[in-house]
Amino acid sequence: MQRQHLLYKGKAKSVYETDDEDFLILHFRDDTSALDGKRIEQLARKGEVNNRFNAFIMQKLADAGIETHFEKQLSSDEILVKRMDMIPVECVVRNFAAGSLVRRLGLEEGQALTPPTFELFYKDDALGDPLVNESIAVTLNWATDAQLAKMQELSHQVNDVLKALFDASDLMLVDFKLEFGVFYDRIVLGDEFSPDGCRIWDKNTKKKLDKDRFRQSLGDVIEGYEEVAKRIGVPLN
Ligand code: UDP
């Protein structure tokens, strides 16, 4: 399958049409952004690392019976995916407090969250991806109640599968963000799962191995991603 014209250029990925209207090609770039796109840098190898990381995770989720848009890896930095109508909300699951939850509620970073929390954010950089709820999403026609219920159920299933996967390598899955779309009336997991959109800490040292290394200028950003990848068994070349 070949890339046709560029459909959309996101902050870290570009989306291309293919000659089949049901499929798109995602190209993972080295661009890394923070502050809703206000800070952008190139990090060598990030496109490849995230592409391989995402392909590995999407395959694990498919093996667990969770439908995803992932079809196949096309190259070191490209995958073929189902073309979906994306729902403009980000679904965030948290097992431990970090990031915006700590800022919003004054919690201590690392506080265990039992049961895990589920939040919705409206995808809009200009507005800073504001926190929303199901009522707003339904009234503004972003999704139906049934679709939102399915997204929440799938998000918790993803958490169950991935928490166990990271835990087996002595890693804590602190939180993560998912995006869903509609493919032939079904809610299907889309976007990507990579250290750009989740928080992963070493269980013993609590060392951050995700995009917080970039957000907080801790250095060795991609080295962190590669360490996680190696520990969970992602083939990096
Ligand atoms: N996240 C993301 N994209 C966003 C906002 C958040 O991928 O636009 C991820 C983030 O990496 C973290 C989780 O969602 O794993 C929860 O993020 P949080 O709400 O704490 O916001 P942040 O502190 O990243 O602003």
Mutate to test the pocket of ligand 1, among 175, 178, 208, 225 (most ligand atoms within 8 A of CB): 175
Task: Give the integer Cα–Cα distance in Å for 134 and 24.
Answer: 29
| Cα–Cα distance, 129 to 140 (Å, whole number) | 15
Amino acid at site 237: N
Q: Is the peptide bond before 115 cis (omega within 30 degrees of 0)?
A: yes
Distance CA 237, CA 214 (A): 24
Three-state secondary-structure class, residue 148: helix
pLDDT of amino acid 81? 98
Domains and CATH numbers, the chain: 3-82 (3.30.200.20), 85-220 (3.30.470.20)
Residue 237 has pLDDT above 90, yes or no: no
Cα distance between residue 222 and residue 28, in whole Å: 14
Q: Give the SS3 label for residue 169.
A: coil
Residue 2 confidence (pLDDT): 85
* 213 within ligand 1 shell (Cβ under 6 A): no
Ligand 1 center–CA 176 separation, angstroms: 7
Phi-psi domain of 217 (left: phi exceeds 0; alpha: psi -120 through 50; beta: other): left
3-state helix, strand, coil in the chain (%, to 5): 30, 35, 35
Instruction: Give the per-residue pLDDT at 149.
Output: 98
Asked if residue 89 has its Cβ within 6 Å of ligand 1, the reply is no
pLDDT bucket at 162, cuts 50 / 70 / 90: very high
Q: Which atom of ligand 1 is nearest to the CA of 174?
A: 15
- How many angstroms separate the alpha carbon of residue 109 from the centre of ligand 1? 14
In the beta sheet, which residues pair with residue 91?
A: 120, 178
The rounded distance, in Å, linking the Cα atoms of 89 and 134 is: 10
Average pLDDT of the residues in 44-54: 98
pLDDT at 42: 97
- Say how many Å lie between the CA of residue 47 and the centre of ligand 1: 19
Mean pLDDT for the stretch of residues 163-170 = 98
Quote the pLDDT of residue 50: 98
Q: Tell me, what's the pLDDT at 219?
A: 97
Rounded CA-CA distance 81/84 in Å is: 9
Instruction: Work out the average pLDDT over 4-15.
Output: 96
pTM: 0.98
Backbone phi, then psi, for 19, in 5-degree steps?
A: -80, 0
Which of the 8 DSSP states describes residue 228? H
Evaluate the omega torsion of the peptide bond into residue 88 and state whether it is cis, within 30 degrees of 0: no
Give, using CA atoms, the residue closest to atom 2 of ligand 1: 197
For the segment 200-216, the average pLDDT, to the nearest whole number, is 98
CA-nearest of 213, 151, 175, 191 to 54 is 191
Q: What percent of the chain has a predicted confidence (pLDDT) above 70?
A: 100
Chain length of the chain? 237
Span 35-52, average pLDDT: 95
Model pLDDT, residue 36:
87
Is the confidence at residue 46, as pLDDT, over 90?
A: yes
- Write phi, then psi, for 45 (nearest 5 degrees): 75, -10
Query: Which residue has better confidence, 2 or 105?
Result: 105
Give me the mean pLDDT over the 89-99 stretch: 99
Give the Å distance between the CA of 178 and the centre of ligand 1.
10
**pLDDT, tens digit, 9 for 90 and up, residues 125-157:** 999 999 999 999 999 999 999 999 999 999 999
State in Å: Cα 177 to ligand 1 middle: 6
Position 1 scores a pLDDT of 80
Tokens representing 171?
């890693």
Q: What φ, ψ does residue 102 adopt, rounded to 5°?
A: -65, -45
- Distance, in Å, from the CA atom of 157 to the CA atom of 178, rounded to the nearest integer, reads 12
Binding site membership of 177 for ligand 1 (Cβ less than 6 Å):
yes
Taking residues 37-56, what's their average pLDDT?
97
CA of 53 to the centre of ligand 1 (A): 18
Percent of the chain at pLDDT exceeding 90 = 96
